[in-house]
Structure 1
Amino acid sequence: MTIQEKEQEIIDEFAIYDDWMDKYEYIIELGKDLPLIKEQLKTDDRLIKGCQSQVWLNAECENNKMKFTADSDAIITKGIIALLIRVVNDESPADVAKSEFKFISEIGLQEHLSPTRSNGLVSMVKEMKLNALKAAK
C-alpha cells in the first residue's frame, strides 16, 4: 500500500464520524495499537522537542524501509503519533522525507487540536522527516 493509499484509508475512516468527540475517541483507540518503543530507548535524544506531553520516537532503517516506534505519556498524543507511524512505517527514507501527511488537513486534525498540541503534531512530523533524511544518506 502506498503512502497515499494509507492516507486515503485514514480519511475514509474519519469520514464515518460526524462529531469530533467521536473522532477523538477513535484517535485514542488507535493509540492502543501504537508500535511501542522499548523502555531502554526512552532517552532524551529520542524525546520530541516542542510537544506539550512527552513523546519518544525511535526510527530505524532496515532494508531501505523506515521502522518507527514511539510512546507518549498522553493518550491523545499516542493516537496522533500512531496515525503518523501508520502512514510512513515500512516506507523508504526518501518517501518518508517527502511525505506531505495530507490526511492531517483532510480530516481537520490540526484545527481541532489546542495550539500546543498542534505545535506538537508539527514537531512529530518534522522529527520523522529528519530521521528519514538521516537514514537516506
Structure 2
Amino acid sequence: MSNMAAKLKAMGMDVNETFLVQFIINSLPVEFGQFQVNYNTIKEKWNFQELKAMLIQEEGRLKKVKEHSVHLTVQTNAGSNKRKPGKNDKRKDKAPTKDNVSRVRKEVKCFFCKKTGHIKKDCQKRKEWFESKGIQYDPNHKRT
C-alpha cells in the first residue's frame, strides 16, 4: 500500500496519511478482526509507521496462536486385487459371513494382553486386573 501511495504521489496525486491508514485497516483479512475493532475503539489514531509496527506485532501473535490441523484419510484393502462391488451386483448389502467374522477375529489383537482373537474390552486378564485393584470393571467405559 505504501508503494502504491508513493507511485500516486510521484504522479502528482497526494494521498492523505489518515486515508491510507484507514484503507489498510479496511483491507485486512478476517484474522485481523480483533485488531480492527481495537483500532476503531482507541481515541488517538496511528500514522503509517505506527500502524506498520502494530501490524507486524499482531501478525507475530497470530502465528503463535494459529491452530494446526491434520486431515487423515484411510484406505482399506490397499493393494487388493479383488473386484469392488459395482452397479450390476445382485446383492448390494452384503452381511458378514461366518468365515469373514472368524478371519477378522483371528487378526484382531488385544492392546492389554497382546494376544490375538479378542479386543481389550473383552479381555479376561484386564477384567481380573481391575478386580485385583478393587475397581468396578466397565468394558464400555472410555477415557476422557
* TM class by smaller structure: under 0.3
Larger RCO (CA within 8 A; separation ≥ 6): 1
Indicate the structure with greater helix content: 1
Q: Which has the larger radius of gyration?
A: 2
Normalized against structure 1, the TM-score is what? 0.26
Indicate the structure with greater strand content: 1
